[in-house]
């Protein structure tokens, strides 16, 4: 079956400053059945996480004008967003250990195939009852 219950009910926040990449991730996840909201800056991502409380956050580490690590620390420190799993996305392959230490639920290195992204997203979402 193409769409399981996790996808039908899950909201994913994509925080990515590159317009083309954000659209690819968003469209690929929407096509797979997820509800997707997007943000192009760390500040907008923090606001969307607080307001929407998504089931998962995809966070680019290298945001223009922002430090993805600081965004991650803010997310994890907040009682409103600290429980949301974060999948860190970056072009730096050697940061997986730090990502885990900082509280990330997962880590992917760019470039990312959509199939790999969808598999990672699905693995981080709990099944619905």
Residue owning tokens 């598999």 = 119
129: confidence class by pLDDT, cuts 50, 70, 90:
very low
Query: Which pTM value belongs to this model?
Result: 0.90
Whether pLDDT at 1 is above 60: no
Digit-coded pLDDT (tens) for 13-29: 999 999 999 999 999 99
Digit-coded pLDDT (tens) for 72-116: 999 999 999 999 999 999 888 777 778 888 889 999 999 999 999
Q: Which fold has domain 5-122?
A: Rossmann fold (3.40.50)
**DSSP string across 50-109:** HHH--SEEEEESS-TTS-HHHHHHHHHH-TTTTTS-EEEEES-GGGHHHHHHTT-SEEEE
Digit-coded pLDDT (tens) for 39-74: 999 999 999 999 999 999 999 998 877 788 999 999
Phi, then psi, of 96 in degrees rounded to 5: -60, -40
Which pLDDT score is estimated for 123? 94
| Domain edges within the chain | 5-122
Measured between alpha carbons, how far apart are the two ends of the chain, in Å?
A: 18
Which pLDDT score is estimated for 7? 52
Which pLDDT score is estimated for 128? 60
């Amino acid at each position: 079956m193409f769409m399981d219950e996790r996808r039908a009910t899950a909201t994913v926040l994509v925080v990515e400053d590159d317009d083309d990449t954000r659209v690819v991730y968003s469209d690929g996840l929407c096509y797979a059945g997820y509800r997707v909201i997007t943000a192009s800056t760390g500040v907008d991502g923090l606001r969307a996480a607080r307001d929407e409380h998504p089931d998962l956050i995809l966070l680019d580490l290298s945001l223009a004008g922002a430090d993805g690590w600081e965004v991650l620390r803010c997310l994890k420190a907040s009682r409103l967003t600290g429980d949301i799993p974060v999948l860190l996305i970056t072009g730096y392959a050697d940061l997986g250990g730090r990502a885990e230490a900082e509280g990330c639920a997962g880590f992917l290195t760019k470039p990312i195939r959509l199939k790999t992204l969808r598999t990672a997203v699905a693995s981080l979402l709990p099944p619905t009852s």
